[in-house]
């Protein structure tokens, strides 16, 4: 008998709004989502008779994505969103999915993201920079697909932390500052980096990858406003300097 217990990966469902997402970003989306769990459900929705979806059609077999056909029932109206929402709720209530990835820049999925999160499941959104703020904030984490093309590791890109600091804006520094203030700090003013990250994502769809980093620690180190050090137990601590 094998006494070893294997850690179960979260079962993630990736639902793609092919009408409002570009296939050129699929590899990056699968890479990021694959770090969060096993993508066992992969579906792309659209009217596959359209020539505009040809790029998606070529990828469905390569990445084991099930193409879900939805005809346009009325001119100028897309029934794809409704079909995708119905399937998401069906998966949710079956109880076999631990999280959802929604690849779309359409704000119509805001209520869906909110409803899934009400059930305690994470929603990972993938869209363009033009995605409405409401949908971004409704997601547990939102990823700008264009930013996923940036160097994900400072060292691998051959850049110093200072070289990458330019991607960080005032809004992010303010968010990190608020998360730091809300975190428990030791006598020297250092807080757990893990807690800071949790508090940041609690009030925003913040994700380090949107700024070109795979890890929050690399992002924080690139910001001169913060200092990062390693605790005796190996965990990382952060302190705001100014």
Which of 103, 125, 105 lies closest to 114 in space, CA to CA? Answer: 125
Whether the pLDDT of residue 77 is over 60: the answer is: no
pLDDT score at 216: 83
Mean pLDDT of 180-194: 87
pLDDT score at 163: 44
User: Is the same domain home to 129 and 166?
Assistant: no
User: Is the same domain home to 113 and 223?
Assistant: no
Identify the domain boundary among 149, 184, 200.
149
47 within a domain of the structure (yes/no): yes
Nearest 5°: the CA angle 90, 94, 95 is: 125
2 within a domain of the structure (yes/no): no
User: Is the same domain home to 124 and 102?
Assistant: yes
User: Is the same domain home to 170 and 140?
Assistant: no
pLDDT score at 61: 82
Residue 3 confidence class, pLDDT cut points 50, 70, 90: very low
Identify each DSSP E strand in the chain by its residue range: 11-17, 38-46, 66-69, 99-103, 123-127, 141-144, 191-192, 226-230, 236-240
User: Is the same domain home to 25 and 134?
Assistant: yes
pLDDT score at 202: 63
Identify the domain boundary among 149, 180, 202.
149
- Give the number of other CB atoms < 10 A from CB of residue 35: 9
41 within a domain of the structure (yes/no): yes
Task: Give the structural domain span for 197.
Answer: 161-240
1 within a domain of the structure (yes/no): no
User: Is the same domain home to 175 and 143?
Assistant: no
pLDDT score at 93: 93
Residue 81 confidence class, pLDDT cut points 50, 70, 90: confident
Angle at which helix 80-94 crosses helix 110-118, to 10 degrees, equals 10
Of 69-73, 123-127, 135-139, which gets the smallest average pLDDT?
69-73
94 within a domain of the structure (yes/no): yes
> Which residue is associated with the tokens 């970003």?
25
User: Is the same domain home to 84 and 177?
Assistant: no
Whether the pLDDT of residue 171 is over 60: the answer is: yes
User: Is the same domain home to 190 and 138?
Assistant: no
121 within a domain of the structure (yes/no): yes
CATH of the domain at 215: 3.30.420.610
pLDDT score at 167: 56
Whether the pLDDT of residue 2 is over 80: the answer is: no
Highest averaged pLDDT of the listed ranges 37-46, 178-187, 215-224: 37-46
pLDDT score at 41: 94
Q: Supply the mean pLDDT for the chain.
A: 82
User: Is the same domain home to 34 and 136?
Assistant: yes
pLDDT score at 209: 77
Backbone phi and psi for residue 132, each to the nearest 5 degrees, phi listed first: -55, 145
Highest averaged pLDDT of the listed ranges 4-18, 79-93, 139-153, 170-184: 79-93
Whether the pLDDT of residue 174 is over 60: the answer is: yes
Total domains in the fold of the chain? 2
Whether the pLDDT of residue 218 is over 90: the answer is: no
Residue 222 confidence class, pLDDT cut points 50, 70, 90: confident
User: Is the same domain home to 166 and 233?
Assistant: yes
90 within a domain of the structure (yes/no): yes
**Are the C-beta atoms of 40 and 61 separated by less than 8 Å?**
no
Identify the domain boundary among 102, 125, 149.
149
209 within a domain of the structure (yes/no): yes
User: Is the same domain home to 134 and 190?
Assistant: no
């Amino acid at each position: 008998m094998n006494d070893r217990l294997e850690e179960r990966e979260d079962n993630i469902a990736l639902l793609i709004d092919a009408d409002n997402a570009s296939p050129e970003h699929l590899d990056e989306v699968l890479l990021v989502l694959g770090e969060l769990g096993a993508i066992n459900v992969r579906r792309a929705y659209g009217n596959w008779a359209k020539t505009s979806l040809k790029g998606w059609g070529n990828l469905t077999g390569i990445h084991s994505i099930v193409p879900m056909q939805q005809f346009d029932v009325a001119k100028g109206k897309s029934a794809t969103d409704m079909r995708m929402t119905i399937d998401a709720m069906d998966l949710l209530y079956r109880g076999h999915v631990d999280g959802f990835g929604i690849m779309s820049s359409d704000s119509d999925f805001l209520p869906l993201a909110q409803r899934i999160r009400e059930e305690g499941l994470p929603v990972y959104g993938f869209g363009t920079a033009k995605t409405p703020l409401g949908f971004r904030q409704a997601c547990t984490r939102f990823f700008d697909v264009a930013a996923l093309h940036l160097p994900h590791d400072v060292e691998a890109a051959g850049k110093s932390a200072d070289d990458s600091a330019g991607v960080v804006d005032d809004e992010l520094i303010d968010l990190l500052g608020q998360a730091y203030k809300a975190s428990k700090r030791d006598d020297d003013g250092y807080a757990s980096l893990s807690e800071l990250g949790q508090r940041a994502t609690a009030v925003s769809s913040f994700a380090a990858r949107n700024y070109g980093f795979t890890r929050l620690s690399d992002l924080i180190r690139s910001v001169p406003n913060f200092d990062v050090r390693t605790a005796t137990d190996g965990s990382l601590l952060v302190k705001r300097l100014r």
